[in-house]
Amino acid sequence: MMPNSSSGPGGVCRLLASLLYGLESHMDTSEDSSFLQDMLMGNTLHLLIKVYDRLQKYRAQRPAPLLDSTQGLAHRLAEELQDTVNSPETTELLNLLSKPHVQTLLLVHDVVAQKRFDPRLPPLPPLPDCNEEDEDSIKIVCLVKNQEPLGATIKRDESSGAIIVARVMRGGAADRSGLIHEGDMLKEVNGVPVEDKNLQEIIPILAKSEGAVTFKVVPGTNEELETNDTQVFVRALFDYDPQADPAIPCRDAGLEFQRGDVLQIVSQDDDTWWQARRHGDANLRAGLIPSRQLQERRVMLQRPEVLFHSPRVSRAFSAGLRSSFRLSRKKNTSQEVKQKIGEVHSGIHVPIYQDVLLYQRNPEEPYRLVLLTGPSGVGVTELKRRLLLSDPEHFCVTVPYTTRERRKQEKDGVEYHFVSKHTFEKDILDHKFLEYGEHNGNYYGTSLDSVRRVLTESKVCLLDVKPHSITALYTSEFKPYVVFVKPPSIEQLRQSRRKAKVLTSQNEQISTRIFTEEDFQNMISSAQSMEHNYGHLFEKVIINEDLAAAFTELRAALAKTETETRWIPNAWAHV
């Protein structure tokens, strides 16, 4: 957005100040606010606006150059001054005219005055000595490029020994020219024959070339292949650094990405190396990434266990119950809990890329299920409690089921749904429970129906679960928004949890105690293994150091998810 000249510099400042004020309510953190303040109120932007205003003024006057060669004039003036009487003024003027920045200024003036904007192309190299039939098969390609890479990789053809264009990166200089194609045979670069050179010698010639670069190529056979951009988007489920990948054909052509990044796959022509762009990246040049097939093979070689063990989901006693009974984390109660292991998944699952598409919730659709997970004691229950308190009309939790006796002050359907052992066991067999467990001879569980009940009330259902339960809810019906609550560093845990208490339960008795060093270490190591095993399912990671800050971040993230367009797995689009 640029001001028009009539608004004046004062007007622009006012506009920027009001913009800042108007955006304040949309900013999540004070960091955002101070960044925007620095940028909008900073000197650099204001000076740029002044320059722009000044240019606008001159543009309106339609200035025309008086001279189109100030360099020539300066040269002639210098010559004449040399012959005149030597005065301090002439010496100063001569000095001034010989300064490189004055000369460059004059050069720039002349280029603009003469409208010499096109690059000067070198003369075409002579055609090789060949008979007329062969002539057709030689192509001279002249590319004009800046310092960006050529955007192509080369290889030596093993049988013929020729240098071949192995891959043209989508969106790169070679691709944009439309003149260089995979399979083309490279003969010369800027007049330097390359056939007798090895690849290590040619690569620097290509890398260094800048401005007008001339290639002599023999077109390959697949020149006519159309290479349309595809609209395949995936979420990367692992981190990738091409510089650390010894197998990539060209490290500089690789695309670095982090788990969670959305990538547009622009070419899957090659089985092992795909070409992709990071979504939202201003750079249109595609980079190489390992194909799904290649990465799967690599993971399996590194972790052979994925070949033999399908992921299992333990329907353990926890989830919605954990705040009520807190049995899941306590070592001293582990014997009391008989964990039920249910298998809900089968087959090999190696997280590589997840096909995704953009989704925005229709007002008549239920809200996405919010799953909160994290190591025991990290603060999941506390964050959930704060969310509920902050807007009880909007957020809601499920009511667990139990077979224990109802106590006097309890109401059916409020604290628990009280059911008979027979009904509970039948529901287990009917796979109605997301998680369930047994404690002191009674069953407790969270049913999928109770989640549905909250969702049909047009409320946001908050569910805290163990990470292994996420997969059972990872469906188009629930479209879960998975938040991982992560502990900060151990030092920050010691500081922030000095006064915090954890609940323990022994023989039905619930008591509190302060966190121990062992609790902190367990929290951190359990968070690491959760991230390692389930990190690909986490859409948001919140580090819970300062509780108030973590809550604000969570609240803002949930608000965004409800209103903004999000990338969700393709599979969720098909009901």
Which among 23-31, 179-187, 375-383, 421-429 is the span making contact with ligand ATP, rule CB under 6 A?
A: 375-383
Question: Considering the rule CB under 6 A, would residue 216 count as an interface residue with ligand ATP?
Answer: no
Distance of alpha carbon 52 from alpha carbon 543, whole angstroms: 43
Our CB check for ligand ATP shows the closer of 151 and 379 to be: 379
Smallest gap, in angstroms, from Cβ of residue 389 to ligand ATP? 13
Strand runs (DSSP E) across 45-158, as ranges?
139-145, 152-156
Contacts of residue 83, Cβ cutoff 8 Å, sequence gap at least 6: none
Question: Considering the rule CB under 6 A, would residue 349 count as an interface residue with ligand ATP?
Answer: no
Question: What are the structure tokens assigned to 410, written together?
Answer: 């309890």
Q: How many CA atoms lie within 13 A of 498 on its CB side?
A: 4
Which among 73-81, 219-227, 257-265, 371-379 is the span making contact with ligand ATP, rule CB under 6 A?
A: 371-379
Q: Which of 471, 496, 522, 570 binds ligand ATP (CB under 6 A)?
A: 496
Question: Considering the rule CB under 6 A, would residue 250 count as an interface residue with ligand ATP?
Answer: no
Smallest gap, in angstroms, from Cβ of residue 469 to ligand ATP? 13
Cβ contact 165:183 at 8 Å:
yes
Cβ contact 316:259 at 8 Å:
no
Question: Considering the rule CB under 6 A, would residue 324 count as an interface residue with ligand ATP?
Answer: no
Coil vs helix vs strand at 475: coil
Distance of alpha carbon 238 from alpha carbon 295, whole angstroms: 10
Question: Considering the rule CB under 6 A, would residue 500 count as an interface residue with ligand ATP?
Answer: yes
Our CB check for ligand ATP shows the closer of 78 and 524 to be: 524
Question: Considering the rule CB under 6 A, would residue 320 count as an interface residue with ligand ATP?
Answer: no
Looking at residue 240, what DSSP letter applies?
B
Residues in contact with ligand ATP, total (CB under 6 A)?
22
Question: What are the structure tokens assigned to 329, written together?
Answer: 């984390």
Smallest gap, in angstroms, from Cβ of residue 468 to ligand ATP? 14
Length of the chain: 575
Distances (CA, A) of 514 to 425, 494, 496, 499: 37, 11, 12, 7
Distance of alpha carbon 304 from alpha carbon 182, whole angstroms: 36
Question: Considering the rule CB under 6 A, would residue 68 count as an interface residue with ligand ATP?
Answer: no
Our CB check for ligand ATP shows the closer of 326 and 479 to be: 326
Question: What are the structure tokens assigned to 225, written together?
Answer: 């292949």
Question: Considering the rule CB under 6 A, would residue 388 count as an interface residue with ligand ATP?
Answer: no
Smallest gap, in angstroms, from Cβ of residue 320 to ligand ATP? 11
Question: Considering the rule CB under 6 A, would residue 467 count as an interface residue with ligand ATP?
Answer: no
Question: Considering the rule CB under 6 A, would residue 526 count as an interface residue with ligand ATP?
Answer: no
Question: Considering the rule CB under 6 A, would residue 264 count as an interface residue with ligand ATP?
Answer: no
Distance of alpha carbon 418 from alpha carbon 484, whole angstroms: 31
Q: Which of 320, 379, 480, 535 binds ligand ATP (CB under 6 A)?
A: 379
Which residues lie near ligand ATP (CB under 6 A)? 322-323, 326, 328-329, 374, 376-382, 496-497, 500-502, 544-547
